[in-house]
Chain A
Amino acid sequence: MGSAPTRSEVLSLFRSLLRTAREFSDYNVREYTKRRTVDAFRDNRRLSNQAEAAAAFAEGKSQLGVAKRQAVVYSLYAPKVKSIMEINHS
C-alpha cells in the first residue's frame, strides 16, 4: 500500500465528494452523501498511522467513484415531482 496522502490530496478528495453529493437529484441521498462525507472526514482527521490513513484515503476514492456513477443513474430516472422537503425550502 502507498504512503499517507498529503493534505492537499485529502482536501481535494473531500471537495470532490461534496461536489458529487450535490449532483444527486434525490433529496435524501443528496443530504446523506454530504453528511456522511463530512462525518467520515471528521472521524478520520486524527488518523496518525500511515497505513490507516492510506486505507481511508483509498476507501474515499472508491466511494467517490460510486457516487459519480450513481449520481448519473439517479439523474436518468429522477421523478418529475420533487420531495416535499425541497418544495417548502425554496
Chain B
Amino acid sequence: MASKLISTAIRRNFLKPSTVPFLLRPYSTAAAAVEPLEEESSGITMKGVKISGRPLYLDMQATSPVDPRVLDAMLPFYLSRYGNPHSRTHLYGWESENAVEAARTQISTLINASPKEIIFTSGATESNNISIKGVMHFYKDKKRHVITTQTEHKCVLDSCRHLQQEGFEITYLPVKPDGLVDLEKLRESIRPDTGLVSVMMVNNEIGVIQPMEEIGRICKEFNVPFHTDAAQALGKVPIDVDKMNISLMSLSGHKIYGPKGVGALYMRRRPRIRVEPQMNGGGQERGIRSGTVPTPLVVGFGAACELAMKEMEYDGERINALKDRLLNGIRGKIDGVVVNGSEESRYAGNLNLSFAFVEGESLLMGLKEVAVSSGSACTSASLEPSYVLRALGVDEDMAHTSIRYGIGRFTTEEEIDKAVELTVNQVVKLREMSPLYEMYKDGIDIKSIQWSQH
C-alpha cells in the first residue's frame, strides 16, 4: 500500500516538471549535487572559472587516462561478449571466463607471481582493506599487532584505526626526512605477536620508493607477513614478489592506463597466507571476494598490465627525461623550490615541489590551465597541509605550498614547457605581492621573526 502511494506520488511529480526538483531533493542528493558544466566551443565555465581549453593533465597519481589499446581490448566485452564469467552452462560464460583467466595471467606475469595468487577486487582500497583487516581478523587469536608507516595511504591508515578500535595495537613508524622508512626502527618494532607489516611501495604524494627488498628480508627473518600497497608502483618500477618477499600486495587498474573500478590482490600461496573475507556471497575468487567479476574491467586491467610490461623501459626513459625538463625548467627561473622526498629513491613520474613564499591555494587557483594537485586526490578538498609532508618534517609554510606534478605515458614536451611557463609566471606574480619574499630578499631570516599572534 505504502509503495503504491509513493509510486503514484512520483508519477504525479513527473507530470509536473516544475515541482520535481523541489520534491525529489530529499530522495536524490546526487541530482542536486551535480553542478552545471557549461561547455561551448569557445571554452569551459565551471565553478566560476572560464578556461579556453581543456587543461593539460599532470595528475597521473590521481588517475591516468585509459590507453586506447586497453579500451580496444575491453570494448568487445561491453558489446556481444557480455556473459557472466561464472556461468558454466553456455558459450557466453565460457568466453568470459577464458578472458578473465587470460587477464589473471597477464597481471601475474608483471609481478612474477602465479595466476592462482591473483584475486580480483574493486581497486587498491578494497585490496588494502582485505589485507589488513582480513589478515588480522583471521589470525586474531595469536597476532595482535600491526606495523605500518605514517605516510601510508588513507585507506591503510583508516583500516588500522578500525583495528585499533577492536583492540589491536598499531605501530605507526615515523619516516626519515627523505620519506624512507628507517629499517632499524622497523626491526626494533617487530614483536612476537606482530601479525603484519604494511609499507607502501611508491608513495602516492611524494613518489619515494621504499626499500622493498630490505623490508622483505627483515619480515622473512622474523617470519611476519609483509603487505605492500603497490597501486602507484605497478608497471612503473619492476616488481618481483619473490625477491621482495611480499605476502600480500594491492594493485589498481586505473593508475596504469586501465579502467577505474578494478584492482587486484596478490596473495602468496607458499607459505600460504589466509584472510577473512570482507564480503560474503557467491564464493567467487575462492570466497575471498564474492561478487561477479566484471569481465570488461578485468580484461582492461590485464591488457594494461601487458602493455606496461612491454612499455616500461620506453615510458621510464621518457618520463625521466620529462621530469628533468620540468625540474630544470622551474629551477632555472625561480629560486626557493624544494623537492619533497628523497631525490634518489623516487619514481620520476611523481614530482612533488614546494615553493617558498607563496600561498599554496592561490598558486593552485592560478594554475587553472594545468590539472595538478597539492597532494592526494582523496584529501585535496581540505585546506590542511598534507599529513605525508608533515611526517617528513616539512615546515608548515612549505607543506602548504606543495604541488604534485604527475607525468605519464601521454605527456608531451610541449605540455611540460607550458606547465613550467605557467608555474613560473604564477609564482613570480604571487611573490611580487608577498611581503615575506621582500623581507627574504632584504636578508631577513623569516624564522627569527616573533609574530605577535600565535
B56: contacting residue among A24, A73, A85, CB under 8 A: A85
Annotate A57-90 by CB proximity to B: 1 below 8 A, 0 otherwise: 0000001001101100110000111111111110
Contact B39 A32 (CB under 8 A): no
Contacts A79-B54, A87-B52; A70 near B72 (Cβ below 8 A): yes
Annotate B18-58 by CB proximity to A: 1 below 8 A, 0 otherwise: 00000000000000000000011101100000011111110
Contacts A28-B411, A86-B53, A87-B52; A81 near B68 (Cβ below 8 A): no
Q: Is the interface of B mostly helix, strand, loop or mixed?
A: mixed
Contact A69 B72 (CB under 8 A): yes
Q: For residue B73, which residue of chain A has the nearest CB?
A: A66
- The smallest beta-carbon distance between A17 and chain B, in angstroms, is 13
Annotate B366-377 by CB proximity to A: 1 below 8 A, 0 otherwise: 000100000000
Q: For residue A31, which residue of chain B has the nearest CB?
A: B412
Interface: B325 (CB within 8 A): no
Interface: A29 (CB within 8 A): yes
Contact B57 A28 (CB under 8 A): yes
Contact A66 B54 (CB under 8 A): no
Interface: A39 (CB within 8 A): yes
Contacts A28-B57, A32-B409, A80-B41; A85 near B414 (Cβ below 8 A): yes
Q: For residue B72, which residue of chain A has the nearest CB?
A: A66
Contact B65 A28 (CB under 8 A): yes
| Residues of the A chain whose Cβ atoms lie less than 8 Å from the Cβ of B411 | 28
A53 to B69, CA, bound (A): 22
Contact B54 A84 (CB under 8 A): yes
Interface: B217 (CB within 8 A): no
Q: For residue B41, which residue of chain A has the nearest CB?
A: A80
Interface: B415 (CB within 8 A): yes
Contact B53 A87 (CB under 8 A): yes
B68: contacting residue among A66, A83, A85, CB under 8 A: A66
Interface: B418 (CB within 8 A): yes
Show the binding face of B for A, using Cβ within 8 Å: 39-41, 43-44, 51-57, 65, 68-69, 71-72, 75, 314, 369, 409-412, 414-415, 418
> Can you list 18 A-B pairs with a CB-CB distance of less than 8 A?
A29-B410, A36-B314, A66-B68, A66-B69, A66-B72, A74-B68, A80-B40, A81-B39, A81-B40, A81-B53, A81-B54, A83-B54, A85-B53, A85-B56, A85-B412, A85-B418, A87-B52, A89-B414
